[in-house]
Amino acid sequence: MTDPAATDPDQTDPTPTDPARPPLAGRIALITGAAGDLGRAAAVHLARAGAAIAAADLASRGAELGETVARCVEASPTSDASATTSVAFDVTDPGQVAAAVDQISDAIGVPDLLYNNAGYQGAFSNTADYDVDDFRRVLDINVTGAFVVLRAWAGALRATARPGAAVNAASMAALGGPPNMVAYAASKAAVLGMTKTAAVDLAPVGIRVNAISPAFIGPGMMWDRQVELQAAAPSPYYGDDVETVAAEMIGQVPLRRYGSLDEVASVVRFLLSDEASYLTGINIEIAGGAS
């Protein structure tokens, strides 16, 4: 049988042939939650690969956002400070998000890449006790917020007729049923559903949409917080001191360690790059073999 790739000139190796050109040169990436651990790590990876960066987070995270911007400029192959910008908005507010996309477009151009990463873990308590207002807040940030950003970004990009790619931040919590995290698990499962439909809706205009599902990642705020809060929440599944809980969590991971921030950021960079040009609507589990 003939290999179609051998005869079809449209199916040749898309790997860039100019080794001197950074792989994401000319691309513009919007990263939400960029003041946080994973957002900052991914922003730096994308900047190092040559993308211009729009780093976004809540107005209250201005100092941390400034640090992200500084690290991106340092990592950029051109060290061009004008290729990096920061913007403050709450992902749950469609007006703020739309204004921010306009602001970014004026400053560095319409972003063709999105790491839709802002998120909130919520409280830790048994489903029968879980606070309804907190449940709503988790869904509002992790689901509605992610949708609002994806919608505004995709609409602006579609108007330019350029292709693009997005990565939504899901979690192994969507799949594994972690105790005391009913709101977070529900929200991240919704992100997986949203990713699949958005991928189908946006494929005709050349926009790919994928998800990542990290498990235990550290060091960082979320690792510290979940170990502390699982220890404090009564449950038969974890001990009641942080060292025991940390060991129990790592014991669930076949690779017997938590993943690093860089090990998540490199997957984000891959999914946003042209190396992933035939991937859309998928979820990559970054979990050291945990399920």
Ligand X SMILES: NC(=O)c1ccc[n+]([C@@H]2O[C@H](COP(=O)([O-])OP(=O)(O)OC[C@H]3O[C@@H](n4cnc5c(N)ncnc54)[C@H](O)[C@@H]3O)[C@@H](O)[C@H]2O)c1
- Where along the sequence are the contacts to ligand X (CB under 6 A)? 32-33, 35-39, 57-58, 61, 90-92, 117-120, 141, 145, 169, 171, 214, 216-217, 220-223
Q: How far is the CB of 11 from ligand X (least distance, A)?
A: 35
Nearer to ligand X, 31 or 154 (CB): 31
Nearer to ligand X, 22 or 167 (CB): 167
Taking CB atoms within 8 Å and a gap of at least 24, the contacts of 140-146 are: 140/92, 141/91, 141/92, 141/187, 142/184, 142/187, 142/188, 142/190, 142/191, 143/187, 143/190, 143/191, 143/194, 144/92, 145/90, 145/91, 145/92, 145/118, 146/91, 146/116, 146/118, 146/119, 146/191, 146/194
Nearer to ligand X, 87 or 156 (CB): 87
Nearer to ligand X, 23 or 174 (CB): 174
Polymer length in residues for the chain: 291
Report, as residue numbers or ranges, the catalytic residues.
184
Q: How far is the CB of 39 from ligand X (least distance, A)?
A: 6
- Burial status of residue 132 (CB atoms within 10 A of its CB: 0-12, 13-18, 19 or more): exposed
22: Cβ contacts below 8 Å, ≥ 6 apart: 48, 49, 50, 77
| Cα 42 to chain centroid, rounded | 8
Q: How far is the CB of 222 from ligand X (least distance, A)?
A: 3
Q: How far is the CB of 226 from ligand X (least distance, A)?
A: 7
Q: How far is the CB of 50 from ligand X (least distance, A)?
A: 23
Nearer to ligand X, 39 or 164 (CB): 39
Question: Measuring CA to CA, how many Å separate 36 from each of 22, 56, 106, 108, 135?
Answer: 25, 10, 25, 22, 22
Q: How far is the CB of 86 from ligand X (least distance, A)?
A: 12
Which has the closest alpha carbon to 99: 141, 156, 144?
Answer: 156
Six-digit token string for 86: 């920061």
Nearer to ligand X, 91 or 139 (CB): 91
285: Cβ contacts below 8 Å, ≥ 6 apart: 172, 175, 213, 215, 291
